[in-house]
Each structure stands twice: as C-alpha cells, then as structure tokens.
C-alpha cells in the first residue's frame, strides 16, 4: 500500500532526500508531497555567486523534467508549513490546505543571522541567501561605489565577490582577527587577507560594527573603532540560524543552540518525524555544510524503505573552494586541537601560498591541514585524514601536492565526501562498468557531481586502474589533433601524404583525412579542393554544399548578421524560382535553398556570386553564422549596435576552419533575442560595452555559455575573440565542440580566462597574428571553384555522362514548394558514379 511522505522544505538537502527515495523506491512505497517556500524548485545554493557571473537561475536548478513529471512526487512551490498536528499526523500549509502524512521530514534549512546593530533594517541592507536576494543586491548596486559586507567567513567572501562582480568597491568587516576564522588558521588567514587585498577588497579584521547609518536608507557604516565607511549597500553575511520555528508550537524538542533535536538516525522526539540539513541538531549539533545534509538525506531514505539503519555517520567538515580566484581549503583538525598535535608549515610568501599539515604526536598520522593560494593537493590529502602518512610530511607539502598520487589512498578512503563515495566504490565501477572517463564515473557513482573538488582525483584513479585515454587521432597517427596541428604549423608540411609519411603510417582513413584537411585549411594551405586536398574532404566539403537525404544539395549564401538588401532578396528568389529549389529561412537568420543537383551547383553559385553573395560555409567545420537582433538602431531596449558588431564578426571569421562548426550570436541587450548564450561564442550588450560568453551550444546536450570577460569595448572584444578562437582551433580534439573542449580543458574556464584574457602563457600576440593571417588571406571558396576549370569538372553526377541528371532524384509538391519524394533505387545516388548501360 502506498504511504504518504511530506517533506517541508525544497532546498538542496530536501531535494536530495526526494532523489534518494525515488532512486531506491522501485515498488512505489511512498508518495511524496514537497512544500517549498520559494517560488522556484531547488537550486545550487553553493554556487549562488555564479548567478552574478553569467549563470541563470535555470543553470543553477537541481531539478530535471523527469522528477517534475514523476507521478509519485507532488512539488508545491511558494507554499510553506504553518503548523503540525502530531496526533492527527497532519501538516497545515500557508495556502490553507491540510496534508495527512505517514512520515514527515523537516528540511527547513536556515535563515541568515542579522546582528541587531542600530540601522540593520534600513533600506539598502540585504542578506545573501536566495536568488531573489541577489536580484535585490544587483538592483541596488552602483558601479564604482563602495559596498560593505558584514562578516568575513566563507559566505561573507562570497558576498564580497558578488559586489565586486557588480563593479562595486567591496569592504569586508570581520570581528575575528582574520578572514574565514572557522576554516583557516592565523598563518593562512594572513596570506588570504593579502591575496584578496591585492584583488581590490578592503579588509577590516578585528572590527565590530557599531551602527548602520542613515535615515530611511543606508548612508554609511560606523565601526567600533570610529572608522566610517560611506556606502548605500550593506550585505549581512554573519552566519545562519536553523529554521526551527515549528518546534515549540508542535512540542518537538530543540537543541540548546537551536535546531530540531534529533538522534543519530535524524529522528526527532516524535518517531514519525525526521529533520535533516541545517535545521537538524544531530545529538545537539547543527551542521552548516551541504555534505552532512546529503548524508542525512541518504540515511533517512534508507530508513523509510527499511533498507538499513541509516545512521548519520558524522560530518566531514572539510572545505575546498575558490574565493575571488583564490584557492582555500581546510580539512580535518585544521586548528590542531588534538592533544599533542604537531604542525608542519610550508609558506611561500613570494608565490602567495600557504600549506599546513596537522600530524599526530609521533608525526605518523595525518589529522588535518590548511591550504591557501594553491589547494590542488587537497584531493589527495583530505582522504588521508586519520591515516598513516604515505610519504614524509615535507614531500606531501610539495607545491601542488606533487609528492603523492592516487596510489597513496587506501581502498576505503572517502574520495567524494559530498556523496560519500570511497576510492573502492570508484575503482570497482571503473573495472566493473568499463568506465573510461570522468563523466562516466560521475554518472555511475555521483562522485564529483556536487562541489567538484574531487574531480582531479577521479582522473588519477582512472590512471591507477590502468585506463589511459589514448590521444591518438586514429590508427594511422599516434598524435592527437592538437599535436598534429603543432607539427604542421612548425614544419610547414602542406599535404596529407607528406604528413602521414613523416609522422604516421598506412594510407589514412575517414577520420584522419578530414581532420588533417581541416588543419591544412586552418593554416592557409590553399583552396580545400586544390590537388590532393580535394580527396581528403567529407562529402559536404568536397562539393561545398550540404548533401540532403535524396542526394540533392542545399545552398546557403552568407548573409552577415542577417542583414540583407531588397535587391539581394530578389536575386535569391529568382535563383530559387529558376532552379526549382525549396526555400527555407534557417534558425541562424540565413536563407537555405534546397534541392540542387550536383551539376547545378556551379550555375547557382555563378548567379549568387555575381549578385555579391559568397559561401556561407554551411557545409564546413567552420564559422557558420553570427546571429543578431536589430540592436539599438530599431529596438527601444537596445543599448549597443548589435547588427554592426555581428556583421563585423562574421566577416572577420568567415571561412575559419576549426575542429567543429562554430556558431555565434550578438544581442543588443540582456533580453537576449539573438540567443547568444546558446552559441560557441556569444556577445551581449551592456551600457558599458559588451559581455563575452563562450562554450555554449544547442543540439543533443544544450549548454549555456560561460562569461569570459565583461564590459569590453569593441577592439578589446575582437582581440579576445581572436585569441579564443585560435586557441580552440589549435588545441581542441577532432570534432570537439567548444562546449566539450571547455569542459575538458584542464583548469576549465579559469584557465581559459588566464590564457586568452590575461595572457598567462604569453601567446596572445601569436594567436592574434594567426587570426590576422586568416583575415588577410580569406577567399570565397565558391568563387575559387568558378575560376578554375579543373575544380568545375568535379561537379557532375556521372563521370562518363556529365550532362545527365541523376534519375533517382524525385520530388513531390507540398505547400507550394518541392520536397524529396520516393526514390527508385534503394539508396540515394553517389556523386560522380558511372552510368551503367
């Protein structure tokens, strides 16, 4: 018989309970009713700051359509619980409903603590908890003006980064003598303070807030030492308090410091009611991190399904994060509170790094540690807590943790604390499921799917299991595509035969031939149909048009930015009419002409080229189109001339050959009519210039692009796009879209920003020069065929009957135009075949 579970709260932990229960409840034992006070379903509150750095609310959502459509889950948003009748087992809701439950789980989370200083309730005072809070802060922020964050802990620095992203000059006020006092020690706090100070933050440590000043609205903050900070934006981030207001009227026990008092199984003083997450005081203690909350959710799910005791195993309070671009991590007994604990410190003030290990009194057992400035060793060190050191302490503290590897971890070491996944869980999945990459491990074990700090270790475990991702392009080349690109660039090799003869083996295949053809085209080695190169191309590139399912081709002329004159529109209509083509406006703001036979292509091109058109490269792994809205010329919301910028970009990058197709968009305002964030690179206008987004795409796995740089002027925008595209062309794998390339890139978006914006590798000039050569040497491929009788000879259906049309091609009429009809042979005709008589 189906029973009813009511979950009060749909934050990250409440959502994890629902997921865990549905994953395990194959028999449909529980129908789940979820009450969520916020108007939106659960989202990633840990990544909340990214909402101001280009992510949308949809990007942060943790809920997929499968759960929303699940008939066993009733998600009620914008509705809270107002009372609990334990005797009747009912929950009263804010919309007047009364819900009967067999089991009740309280996942009400916490609320921000606002110190009761005078003026704390003035307009201009905010907390940092929800997406709506960030919207309010964004609306109040003024670029260039000071903003004050009360609290210098983890969330306080997140809030300070948010103000910084909004262009404000952030001040951080912390009562403790250092930033992040719960996570780092005095030495680490000093390094952290210096690093964030170098980034433009003003830090006030050991400072209490005396008052928030102003009449009706904030005008300043006065500190206890008399310091006055002029500001009209104050963000309180001074900790949280458990949401346990249902305890007293319900008669549920509370802990001394707040929170629903629960035992080790997370059960309250009522055997039918559990509490999990930040509102739960497990044996008197509340935990403010997501990982312990997830562990509680998993345990309660096991109890509800009678799958085990589901006892809370205790919390790993280890933390690794990047604040304002600065790595910070702490794990285990970070403050050396264990009797007899020893501390080993490695500090490099010049590099801005600090590392400390806390050891047992015999210096054999790792108890904890602190890392600031470089936390890459965290993924190896954290699982070693309470275990014997696999190497001397000084070796463990080598920069980037280079002294240890995955082999140092025992099998039962927890690699992913967020989801409680051990090394053995991962290695068993690799061996048993034949996993070969990190995405496979994530999908199979959930390791690395929350905070992501263990992802480097997942790569190491693959290697330990003997899984070596081959970099070979194919059986004929042991090198990767990126390595072949460097070889061709460095040696000046200009043909496939020379490249395979010197650096490969055999005769090549349909993998390496098009890839090498693309590399040669990227480096400007002539027309793609010149000599040997013609034989390397895929069908579409071989005929500079897209082959359709009935053996005909579509012709797509370039229409930069979607802007076209009436005269050119008339020419397109006349060509379509004269050749009997199907006409379609594409999603990329171009006009596609379908149904052309191969021998008709040069005739069509001649008409189009004479009218001023050129190839739109719809057939190539190249720039396809730069979509545009109408911008500020016509739209009342536009803040920049998006049409002119789209045309400029499309004309600059037309013909650029790449590992995969490239699509772009330019939107004239944040309303995003050009859908720029769904493109390989997208440009969105601001009142200060342009924001540049990269790594987006549609298709089977849509991905929103990430913000690479903000508020750029025209020239700076183009220089950064030049660098981004050429870096992608040089380093991406075969047929790898920019989205997959960015996700696979070591260091991800941060590394990309360092290379193409900050020029950390010193190659920006080289990348810009490469793009300049492309722009200078661009030539229309259609015009190149029309000017060369040898190339024109390729465009026939039958080599021994060049004037004969393909008899297998049939059309039928529909809605006043042609569409492919049934063929008379089992397969479409292959271009250049012989006529059999």
With cut-offs at 50, 70 and 90, classify the pLDDT of residue 451.
low
pLDDT for 382 = 84
pLDDT for 636-681, tens place per residue? 889 999 999 999 999 999 999 999 999 999 999 988 999 999 999 9
Q: Hey, how many other C-beta atoms are within 10 angstroms of the C-beta on 61?
A: 14
**Would the CATH topology of 3-111+242-304 be identical to that of 125-238?**
yes
Candidate ranges 184-193, 509-518, 608-617; pick with highest mean pLDDT: 608-617
Among 276-290, 368-382, 437-451, name the one with the lowest average pLDDT.
437-451
- 691 or 510, higher pLDDT: 691
Q: What's the rounded Cα separation, in Å, for the pair 263 and 282?
A: 6
* Cα separations in angstroms, 428 against 193, 380, 584, 720: 42, 19, 52, 44
pLDDT for 111 = 94
Which contacts qualify for 143-147: CB closer than 8 Å, 24 or more apart? 143/167, 143/168, 143/688, 144/168, 144/169, 145/169, 145/231, 145/232, 145/233, 146/170, 146/171, 146/229, 146/230, 146/231, 147/171, 147/231, 147/233, 147/234, 147/235
Tokens representing 186?
A: 């005095």
pLDDT for 228-266, tens place per residue? 999 999 999 988 999 999 999 999 999 999 999 999 999
Q: Is the pLDDT of residue 700 over 70?
A: no
- Burial (Cβ within 10 Å: 0-12, 13-18, ≥19) of residue 506: exposed
With cut-offs at 50, 70 and 90, classify the pLDDT of residue 830.
very low
Percent of the chain residues topping a pLDDT of 70 = 94
109 secondary structure, DSSP code: -
pLDDT for 828 = 43
Q: What's the rounded Cα separation, in Å, for the pair 769 and 615?
A: 24
Q: Is the pLDDT of residue 829 over 50?
A: no
With cut-offs at 50, 70 and 90, classify the pLDDT of residue 406.
low
So what CATH class is 407-469? mainly alpha
Q: Is the pLDDT of residue 825 over 60?
A: no
Q: Is the pLDDT of residue 824 over 50?
A: no
- 404 or 542, higher pLDDT: 542
Q: Scan for tokens 């590399």, then name that residue.
A: 519
Domain boundaries, the chain: 3-111+242-304, 125-238, 318-404, 407-469, 481-537
Q: Is the pLDDT of residue 804 over 80?
A: no
Annotated binding site for siroheme: 673
Q: Is the pLDDT of residue 380 over 90?
A: no
Q: What's the rounded Cα separation, in Å, for the pair 580 and 576?
A: 6
Handedness of CA 718, 722, 728, 734 (dihedral sign): positive
Among 222-226, 263-267, 326-330, 613-617, name the one with the lowest average pLDDT.
326-330
What number is the average pLDDT over the span 186-214? 91
Annotated binding site: 629, 635, 669, 673
Annotated binding site for [4Fe-4S] cluster: 629, 635, 669, 673
Tokens representing 12?
A: 């990250």
Asked if residue 736 lies in contact with residue 777, where contact means CB atoms within 8 angstroms, the answer is no
CATH number corresponding to 318-404 = 3.30.390.30
pLDDT for 453 = 67
pLDDT for 799 = 53
Q: Is the pLDDT of residue 401 over 50?
A: no
546 pairs with which residues across the strands?
554
pLDDT for 150 = 97
Among 190-204, 651-665, 724-738, 819-833, name the one with the lowest average pLDDT.
819-833
Q: What's the rounded Cα separation, in Å, for the pair 443 and 437?
A: 10
What number is the average pLDDT over the span 575-583? 94
pLDDT for 47-72, tens place per residue? 888 888 777 888 899 998 788 888 99
- 34 or 423, higher pLDDT: 34
Q: Domain 125-238, what architecture?
A: 3-Layer(bba) Sandwich (3.50)
So what CATH class is 3-111+242-304? alpha beta
- 619 or 805, higher pLDDT: 619
pLDDT for 290-325, tens place per residue? 889 999 999 999 999 988 788 888 777 788 777 776
pLDDT for 87-140, tens place per residue? 999 999 999 999 999 999 999 999 999 999 999 999 999 999 999 999 999 999
pLDDT for 540-563, tens place per residue? 888 899 888 778 899 999 999 889
């Amino acid at each position: 018989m189906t029973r009813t579970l009511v979950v009060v709260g749909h934050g990250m932990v409440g959502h994890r309970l629902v997921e865990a229960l549905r994953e395990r409840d194959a028999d449909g034992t529980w129908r789940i009713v979820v009450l969520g006070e916020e108007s939106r379903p659960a989202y990633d509150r840990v990544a909340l700051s990214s909402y101001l750095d280009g992510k949308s609310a949809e990007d942060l959502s943790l809920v997929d359509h499968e759960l929303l459509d699940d008939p066993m889950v009733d998600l009620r948003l914008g509705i809270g619980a107002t009372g609990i009748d334990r005797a009747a087992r009912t929950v009263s809701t804010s919309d007047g409903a009364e819900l009967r439950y067999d089991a009740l789980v309280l996942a009400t989370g916490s609320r921000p603590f606002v110190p009761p200083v005078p003026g704390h309730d003035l307009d201009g005072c905010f907390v940092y908890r929800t997406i709506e809070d960030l919207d309010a802060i964004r609306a109040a922020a003024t670029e260039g003006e000071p903003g004050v964050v009360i609290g210098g802990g983890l969330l306080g620095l997140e809030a300070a980064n948010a103000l910084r992203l909004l262009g404000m000059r952030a001040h951080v006020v912390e009562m403790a003598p250092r930033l992040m006092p719960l996570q780092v020690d005095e030495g680490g706090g000093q390094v952290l303070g210096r690093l964030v100070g170098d980034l433009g933050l003003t830090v006030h440590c050991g400072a209490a807030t005396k008052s928030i000043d102003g009449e009706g609205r904030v005008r300043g903050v006065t500190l206890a030492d008399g310091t006055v900070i002029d500001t009209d934006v104050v963000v309180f981030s001074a900790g949280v308090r458990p949401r346990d207001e249902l305890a007293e009227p319900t008669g549920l026990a509370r802990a001394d410091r707040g929170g629903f008092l629960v035992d080790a199984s997370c059960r309250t003083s009522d055997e039918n009611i559990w509490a999990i997450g930040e509102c739960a005081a497990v044996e008197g203690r509340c935990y403010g991190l997501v990982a312990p909350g997830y562990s509680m959710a998993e345990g309660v799910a096991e109890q509800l399904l009678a799958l085990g005791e589901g006892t809370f195993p205790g919390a790993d309070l280890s933390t690794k994060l990047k604040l304002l671009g600065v790595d910070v991590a702490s794990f285990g007994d970070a403050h050396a509170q264990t009797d007899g604990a020893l501390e080993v410190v490695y500090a490099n003030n010049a590099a801005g790094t600090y590392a400390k290990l806390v050891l047992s009194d015999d210096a054999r057992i790792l108890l904890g540690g602190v890392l600031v400035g470089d936390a890459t060793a965290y993924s190896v060190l954290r699982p070693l807590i309470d275990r014997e050191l696999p190497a001397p302490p000084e070796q463990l503290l080598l920069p980037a943790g280079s002294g240890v590897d995955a082999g140092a971890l025992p099998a039962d070491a927890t690699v992913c604390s967020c989801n409680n996944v051990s090394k053995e869980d991962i290695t068993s999945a690799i061996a048993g499921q034949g996993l070969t990459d990190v995405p496979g491990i994530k999908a199979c074990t959930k390791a690395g799917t929350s905070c992501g700090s263990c992802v480097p270790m997942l790569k190491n475990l693959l290697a330990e299991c003997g899984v070596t991702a081959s970099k070979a392009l194919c059986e004929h080349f042991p090198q990767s595509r990126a390595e072949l690109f460097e070889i061709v660039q460095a040696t000046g090799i200009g043909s496939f035969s020379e490249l395979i003869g010197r650096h490969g083996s055999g005769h090549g295949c349909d993998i390496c031939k098009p890839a090498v053809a693309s590399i040669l085209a990227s480096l400007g080695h002539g027309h793609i149909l010149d000599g040997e190169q013609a034989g390397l191309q895929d069908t579409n590139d071989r005929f500079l048009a897209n082959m359709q399912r009935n053996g005909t081709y579509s012709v797509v002329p370039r229409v930069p930015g979607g802007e076209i004159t009436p005269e050119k529109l008339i020419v397109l209509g006349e060509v379509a009419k004269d050749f009997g083509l199907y006409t379609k406006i594409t999603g990329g703001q171009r006009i596609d002409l379908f149904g052309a036979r191969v021998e008709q292509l040069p005739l069509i091109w001649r008409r189009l080229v004479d009218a001023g058109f050129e190839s739109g490269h719809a057939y190539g792994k190249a720039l396809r189109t730069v979509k545009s809205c109408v911008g500020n010329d016509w739209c009342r919301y536009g803040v920049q001339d998006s049409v002119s910028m789209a045309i400029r970009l499309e004309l600059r990058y037309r013909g650029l050959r790449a590992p995969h197709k490239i699509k772009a968009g330019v939107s004239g305002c944040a309303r995003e009519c050009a859908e720029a964030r769904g493109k390989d690179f997208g440009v969105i206008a601001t009142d200060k210039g342009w924001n540049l987004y990269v790594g987006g795409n549609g298709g089977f796995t849509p991905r929103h692009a990430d913000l690479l740089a903000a508020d750029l002027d025209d020239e700076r925008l183009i220089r950064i796009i030049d660098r981004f595209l050429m870096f992608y062309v040089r380093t991406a794998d075969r047929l790898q879209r920019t989205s997959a390339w960015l996700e696979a890139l070591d260091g991800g978006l941060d590394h990309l920003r360092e290379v193409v914006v900050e020029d950390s590798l010193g190659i920006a000039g080289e990348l810009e020069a490469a793009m300049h050569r492309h722009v200078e040497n661009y030539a229309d491929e259609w015009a190149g065929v029309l000017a060369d009788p040898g190339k024109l000879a390729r465009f026939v259906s039958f080599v021994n009957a060049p004037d004969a049309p393909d008899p297998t091609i049939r059309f039928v009429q529909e809605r006043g135009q042609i569409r492919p009809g049934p063929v008379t042979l089992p397969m479409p005709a292959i271009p250049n075949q012989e006529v059999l008589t």
